[in-house]
Amino acid sequence: MDSLTIIAASSIIAAGLAIGLGAIGPGIGEGHALGRALNSLAQQPDEAGTITRTLFVGMAMVESTAIYAFVVTMILLFANPYWNYFLSKVGG
Amino acid sequence: MDSLTIIAASSIIAAGLAIGLGAIGPGIGEGHALGRALNSLAQQPDEAGTITRTLFVGMAMVESTAIYAFVVTMILLFANPYWNYFLSKVGG
Amino acid sequence: MDSLTIIAASSIIAAGLAIGLGAIGPGIGEGHALGRALNSLAQQPDEAGTITRTLFVGMAMVESTAIYAFVVTMILLFANPYWNYFLSKVGG
Amino acid sequence: MDSLTIIAASSIIAAGLAIGLGAIGPGIGEGHALGRALNSLAQQPDEAGTITRTLFVGMAMVESTAIYAFVVTMILLFANPYWNYFLSKVGG
Amino acid sequence: MDSLTIIAASSIIAAGLAIGLGAIGPGIGEGHALGRALNSLAQQPDEAGTITRTLFVGMAMVESTAIYAFVVTMILLFANPYWNYFLSKVGG
Amino acid sequence: MDSLTIIAASSIIAAGLAIGLGAIGPGIGEGHALGRALNSLAQQPDEAGTITRTLFVGMAMVESTAIYAFVVTMILLFANPYWNYFLSKVGG
Amino acid sequence: MDSLTIIAASSIIAAGLAIGLGAIGPGIGEGHALGRALNSLAQQPDEAGTITRTLFVGMAMVESTAIYAFVVTMILLFANPYWNYFLSKVGG
Amino acid sequence: MDSLTIIAASSIIAAGLAIGLGAIGPGIGEGHALGRALNSLAQQPDEAGTITRTLFVGMAMVESTAIYAFVVTMILLFANPYWNYFLSKVGG
Amino acid sequence: MDSLTIIAASSIIAAGLAIGLGAIGPGIGEGHALGRALNSLAQQPDEAGTITRTLFVGMAMVESTAIYAFVVTMILLFANPYWNYFLSKVGG
Amino acid sequence: MDSLTIIAASSIIAAGLAIGLGAIGPGIGEGHALGRALNSLAQQPDEAGTITRTLFVGMAMVESTAIYAFVVTMILLFANPYWNYFLSKVGG
Amino acid sequence: MDSLTIIAASSIIAAGLAIGLGAIGPGIGEGHALGRALNSLAQQPDEAGTITRTLFVGMAMVESTAIYAFVVTMILLFANPYWNYFLSKVGG
Amino acid sequence: MDSLTIIAASSIIAAGLAIGLGAIGPGIGEGHALGRALNSLAQQPDEAGTITRTLFVGMAMVESTAIYAFVVTMILLFANPYWNYFLSKVGG
Amino acid sequence: MDSLTIIAASSIIAAGLAIGLGAIGPGIGEGHALGRALNSLAQQPDEAGTITRTLFVGMAMVESTAIYAFVVTMILLFANPYWNYFLSKVGG
Amino acid sequence: MDSLTIIAASSIIAAGLAIGLGAIGPGIGEGHALGRALNSLAQQPDEAGTITRTLFVGMAMVESTAIYAFVVTMILLFANPYWNYFLSKVGG
């Protein structure tokens, strides 16, 4: 196997693991927060505005950990610096 | 094994793992949120509109972590940049 | 082993893992939501219509994470782009 | 090992894993939902009709995730497209 | 090792794993449901008929996920299509 | 290693794993159900007959998932179709 | 390694795993049931007879899943059909 | 490695795993039961006789699953039938 | 494989694992905190300002553990000191 | 490697695993029982004698599962029958 | 592979694992503490100053375990003593 | 590798695993018991003497499972019978 | 590979695992303690001094287990006795 | 690899695992105990002296399991008997 193939294969495997593992925590955490939010809404309907606003800002923060994993996956697939280096070496 | 075969085989395995692992967290999280939503609905039927609206917007956000995994799987299968490179090299 | 055999074998293994792992989360999540729904129904029978409607729409959303895994499995088995490529190369 | 043997062996292993792992989530989830349903029944006997109807429709939805795994297992054993291809190649 | 031996050995291992893993979920789930059913029975003895009927129909549905695993195990041992093929090839 | 030895060794390992894993779920599930049954008995002694009858019928159903694993183990050890085939081939 | 050694070594390893894994579920399950039984006894001392009788019959059922594992272990060590076959072949 | 060494080494490893894994379940289960027994004792001191009697008979039953593992370990170390066979073959 | 390829491949795999594992803890933790915050908001709406301010400062601290993992991932991909060394050696 | 070295090395590894795994269950179980005992003591100080007596007899029973693991470890290290055999063969 | 490559590759893998694993515990722990803090704030708004001050000092202590992992990761990447030694040996 | 090196290396690895795994159970168990003791103390300060005495005697018993692991570790490092044998053989 | 490289590589891997695993327990434990402290503070504001003092002394003790792991990591990286020996042997 | 290198490398790996695993249990256990202590303090401030004294003596006992792991780690690194032997053999 030449270098380009090794870099490509390990990037693909790493991308799959990063997004697969990285979706577990935020998925469970956001679902937990959402469930609590709806309980609060039922308990204090007058505060619906504050609750939903806080919920969605907060969920965006939880989502950010999933987005880190997504960003790394995208970098591994489309902007991989190691791939670019080996590509330029081959092309040079 | 030539490069094309290695890239294809590792993409297939990574696609299977990404969607398999990535469905665990959102599946549990959304089910938890939905269960809480229905409790809230039974407790405060007058707020059904706000609760279900918040629920579905929130579930869409939880779903997004599963969708990241799905998107990565689709990219790995249908728009894999490494595959395209090796394909063009073979074809060139 | 030639390329076609490797692609076929890795697709089969990935299909088995994807649907096997992908059924764990939604199975637990939907069961949790359904159990809560029935508690709510017993507590507030007058809202049966709203509760069951919200339940089934919500379960469809949870189900969607299982369906992603199922769709990927089906693609791996019946519309695998890597298989099609190698097949056309052999046939060409 | 020739291609047919590899395809057959990996299909058998994948079938065993898919149904083995795929029965864990729905088994726990349905049992949870059923247990809650019976609590609700004892609490609100007058709603027995609505509760059991919702329960069985809901369990059918949970069951569907197990059925996906079962369907994939059956496809892997009896309608495996990769097997059919290699079989036709041998027969041709 | 010839093909027949490989097919037989992988079928045996897959059968053991399928039923071993496939008994975990339904075993826990049914036990959970049964325990809740008996609590409900003690709480509302007048509804014993409805509760036990719902319980056994529901447990049959949970059992079905174990039965899928059992059926696949039986197919792997006694009606394995791959085995039949290789057997006919040897016999032919 | 000849075929008979491979079949025998893999049957023995599969038998050990099937019964070892297959006893975990029903063991926990039945113990859970039994504990709840005794709570119910203490709470509603007048319904002892119904409770114990439902308990033992229900435990028999939970037990059935363990029995599936036991049956497969016995088949693997004493009525293994693959073993019988290879035996007849050696004997023929 | 000759066949007899392989069969013996795999039987020993399978026996150790079967009883080791097979003792986890019933051990936890019976302990759970016993604990609940003693709570019930303290709560309803007049029903001590019914509770302890139900407890021991029930624990015997839970124990049965451990006994399956024990029986398989004993068969693997003392009545192993594969061992007997290879022994008779050597002796013949 | 000759047969005697293989049998001895695999017996030692299997013995260590069997007792190590086999002590987890009963250890947790008995501790759980004992804790509940002491709560019951504090709640209903007049029934101390019945509670402690039931506790120790019940713990003996839970202990039995650990004893199965211990017996198998002892058999593997001191009455191993496979060892005896190979020993007699060497001695003969 | 030359040194540059090894460094690149291990950096890619380590990057994928670091962000994949590192998103699990903060994702669950932030979701838990957010859920509690919304309960508090519903319970004490007058303190909404203090609660949300504390929530977002606190979540930023929890987020920091995910950011550590993200920073390490970025360093591994874009500012890897080992890569730079080997690159300069090759270029020198 | 000669037989004596293999037996010694596998005994050492098995001893470490047996006591390491075998201390997990009883450690958690006894701690749980002790915690409950102290709650009971605080709740019913007049029964301190019965409670502590039952506690220590019971903990001795839980301890027994750890002692089984310890005994097996000691046998593996100081009274290993396989070691004695190979030693006598070397010495003979 | 020469020594420098081995040191670099193992440092990269160890850095990824250290920060990936080391972010799990503090992430969950801080989220738990933050959630409790907000409940306390809602319950006792007059003590908001003491609670938030204690919270942030405490979270800094929890954060310290994540920082240890981060520091080790940074040392492994930028101040690795083993790397420096081998580098000086090569340069000398 | 000669026998002495193998024995020494396997003793070191087994010692590390034995104490590492063996500290998990007692650590969690003692912490649980201590926490409950302090609740009891706060609830029934007059019984402080009995509670702390029972606590420390009980914790000594829980500690014993950790001590077993520690003793085995010390034996493996400082009084290893297998090491002594091989040492005497080398010295003889 | 020469001895120095092996020692360096295994020290780096061991350092990464030690701090990565060693941060999980204290991180969760301290977060749990901190959360409880804040509940206590809200419940009994007059005891804020005693509670926070006890909290920080206690957290320092919990932190100590993380510090053990950190100290071992630092020793492995900067004061490794094995490294020093091999270094002096090379330098001598 | 010579004996000294093997002993050193295995000691380093075992030291890292021992302290990494050994910090999990005490970290969680002490945090749990500390949290309960602070609840007790808030509930019964008059007993602050007894509670904190019992807490710190108890935590020292829990800490002891972590200290065992730390002592073994230190022995493995600085007073390793196997290392000393091989060192003296080399030096002799």
Q: Give the up-direction half-sphere exposure of residue J37: CA atoms within 13 A in the CB hemisphere.
A: 34
Chain M touching partners, 3 or more CB pairs below 8 A: K, N
Class of domain L3-87: mainly alpha
What is the pLDDT confidence band of residue J91, given thresholds at 50, 70 and 90? confident
- Whether F62 shows a pLDDT value over 90: the answer reads yes
- Whether C47 shows a pLDDT value over 90: the answer reads no
Contact G58 F59 (CB under 8 A): yes
Backbone angles phi, psi at G47, to 5 degrees: -100, 20
What is the pLDDT confidence band of residue A89, given thresholds at 50, 70 and 90? confident
pLDDT tens digit sequence for J21-30? 999 999 999 9
Asked if M touches N (at least 3 Cβ pairs < 8 angstroms), the answer reads yes
What span, in angstroms and rounded, lies between the C-alpha atoms of F40 and K43?
A: 37
Identify which of K8, K12, K31 has the shortest CB distance to residue I28. Answer: K31
What is the pLDDT confidence band of residue L76, given thresholds at 50, 70 and 90? very high
Q: What is the pLDDT of residue A1?
A: 63
Q: What's the whole-number average pLDDT of chain H?
A: 91
SS3 G80: coil
- Whether L22 shows a pLDDT value over 70: the answer reads yes
CB of D25 within 8 Å of a chain C CB? The answer is yes
Chain K touching partners, 3 or more CB pairs below 8 A: I, M
pLDDT tens digit sequence for K36-53? 999 998 888 888 888 999
Write the DSSP symbol of residue A88.
Answer: H
Identify which of B40, B41, B75 has the shortest CB distance to residue A77. Answer: B75
Chain D touching partners, 3 or more CB pairs below 8 A: C, E
Q: What is the pLDDT of residue M46?
A: 87
pLDDT tens digit sequence for A40-88? 988 888 888 889 999 999 999 999 999 999 999 999 999 999 999 988 8
Contact L31 N32 (CB under 8 A): yes
Q: Does domain N3-91 have CATH number 3.40.50.1370?
A: no
| Residue from H2, H3, H19, H55 to probe the interface with J (highest J Cβ count within 10 Å) | H19
CB of M54 within 8 Å of a chain N CB? The answer is yes
What is the pLDDT confidence band of residue M92, given thresholds at 50, 70 and 90? low
Q: What is the pLDDT of residue K1?
A: 63
Q: Which residue of D has its CA nearest to E56?
A: D34
- The complex's ipTM? 0.89
Asked if I touches K (at least 3 Cβ pairs < 8 angstroms), the answer reads yes
What is the pLDDT confidence band of residue I90, given thresholds at 50, 70 and 90? confident
Contact I16 A15 (CB under 8 A): yes
Q: What is the pLDDT of residue C91?
A: 72
Which DSSP string do the residues of E14-47 spell out, in sequence order? HHHHHHHHHTHHHHHHHHHHHHHHHHHHHH-GGG
Q: What is the pLDDT of residue D62?
A: 93
CB of A68 within 8 Å of a chain I CB? The answer is yes
> Which residues of chain L lie closer than 8 angstroms to J4, CB-CB?
3, 85-86
J3-82 homologous superfamily: F1F0 ATP synthase subunit C (1.20.20.10)
> Which residues of chain D lie closer than 8 angstroms to C25, CB-CB?
25
- Whether F92 shows a pLDDT value over 60: the answer reads no
Identify which of I23, I43, I77 has the shortest CB distance to residue A66. Answer: I23
The segments of chain H whose pLDDT lies below 70 read 1, 92
What is the pLDDT confidence band of residue G1, given thresholds at 50, 70 and 90? low
Q: Which residue of B has its CA nearest to A41?
A: B51
What is the pLDDT confidence band of residue L1, given thresholds at 50, 70 and 90? low
Q: What is the pLDDT of residue I3?
A: 86
Percentage of chain H exceeding pLDDT 90: 73
Q: What is the pLDDT of residue C1?
A: 63
The distance of D68 to chain C (nearest Cα, Å) reads 7
Contact N26 M61 (CB under 8 A): no
Q: What is the pLDDT of residue A3?
A: 86
The segments of chain K whose pLDDT lies below 50 read none
- Whether I34 shows a pLDDT value over 60: the answer reads yes
CB of J58 within 8 Å of a chain H CB? The answer is yes
Length of chain E: 92
The segments of chain D whose pLDDT lies below 50 read none
Contact C28 B23 (CB under 8 A): no
> Which residues of chain L lie closer than 8 angstroms to J42, CB-CB?
39-41, 43-44, 47, 51
Q: Give the up-direction half-sphere exposure of residue F47: CA atoms within 13 A in the CB hemisphere.
A: 24
> Quick one: CA dihedral A13, A14, A15, A16, positive or negative?
positive
Asked if F touches J (at least 3 Cβ pairs < 8 angstroms), the answer reads no
For chain E (92 residues), the mean pLDDT of every run of 10, in chain order, is 88 94 94 92 88 92 94 94 88 64
The distance of B21 to chain A (nearest Cα, Å) reads 5
Q: Which residue of G has its CA nearest to F29?
A: G29
How many CB atoms sit inside 10 A of residue N91's CB?
Answer: 6
In 3D space, the residue among C84, C40, C36 whose CA is nearest the CA of residue C62 turns out to be C36
Q: What is the pLDDT of residue M65?
A: 93
What is the pLDDT confidence band of residue B1, given thresholds at 50, 70 and 90? low
Q: What is the pLDDT of residue C35?
A: 93
Contact H20 J21 (CB under 8 A): yes
Element (H, E) at I78: helix I48-78
Contact F32 G32 (CB under 8 A): yes
- Whether G91 shows a pLDDT value over 80: the answer reads no
Q: CB–CB of N7/L7 below 8 Å?
A: no
- Whether L31 shows a pLDDT value over 70: the answer reads yes
Chain A touching partners, 3 or more CB pairs below 8 A: B, I
Identify which of E9, E31, E45 has the shortest CB distance to residue F30. Answer: E31
Tokens read off for K57:
């000092």
The distance of M4 to chain N (nearest Cα, Å) reads 8
Tokens read off for E19:
């039923």
Q: Which residue of B has its CA nearest to C48?
A: B42
H-helix segments, H1-92: 3-22, 24-43, 48-78, 81-91
CB of D14 within 8 Å of a chain C CB? The answer is yes
- Whether B89 shows a pLDDT value over 90: the answer reads no
Contacts of G77 (CB under 8 A, 6+ apart): G11, G12, G15, H72, H75, H76, H80, H81, H82
Element (H, E) at N80: none
Contact L29 N29 (CB under 8 A): yes
Q: CB–CB of B81/A77 below 8 Å?
A: yes
CB of E27 within 8 Å of a chain F CB? The answer is yes
Q: What is the pLDDT of residue H90?
A: 80
pLDDT tens digit sequence for N1-58? 688 899 999 999 999 999 999 999 999 999 999 999 999 988 888 888 889 999 999 9
How many CB atoms sit inside 10 A of residue L92's CB?
Answer: 5
| Residue from B38, B82, B84 to probe the interface with A (highest A Cβ count within 10 Å) | B82
Q: What is the pLDDT of residue F22?
A: 93
> Which residues of chain A lie closer than 8 angstroms to I30, CB-CB?
29, 33, 58, 61-62, 65
What span, in angstroms and rounded, lies between the C-alpha atoms of H20 and H22?
A: 6
The distance of E4 to chain F (nearest Cα, Å) reads 9
H3 residue type, one letter: S
Q: What is the pLDDT of residue H92?
A: 56
- Whether G17 shows a pLDDT value over 80: the answer reads yes
pLDDT tens digit sequence for J31-67? 999 999 999 988 888 888 889 999 999 999 999 999 9
Where are the domains positioned within chain G?
A: 3-87
Q: Which residue of G has its CA nearest to H84?
A: G8
CB of E44 within 8 Å of a chain D CB? The answer is yes
Q: What's the whole-number average pLDDT of chain L?
A: 91
Contact A54 I52 (CB under 8 A): yes
Q: What's the whole-number average pLDDT of chain F?
A: 91
Q: In F, residues 72-91, which contact E (CB 8 Å cutoff)?
A: 72-73, 75-76, 80-82, 85-86
Q: What is the pLDDT of residue E71?
A: 94
Q: What is the pLDDT of residue J92?
A: 56
Q: What is the pLDDT of residue G79?
A: 92
Contact J45 L46 (CB under 8 A): yes
In 3D space, the residue among D88, D86, D72, D70 whose CA is nearest the CA of residue D6 turns out to be D86
The CATH code of the domain at H3-80 is: 1.20.20.10
Q: Which residue has the tokens 């989530």?
A: D25
Identify which of J2, J8, J32 has the shortest CB distance to residue L7. Answer: J8
Size of interface F-G (CB pairs under 8 A): 188
In 3D space, the residue among M84, M80, M59 whose CA is nearest the CA of residue M10 turns out to be M80
pLDDT tens digit sequence for F14-53? 999 999 999 999 999 999 999 999 999 888 888 888 899 9
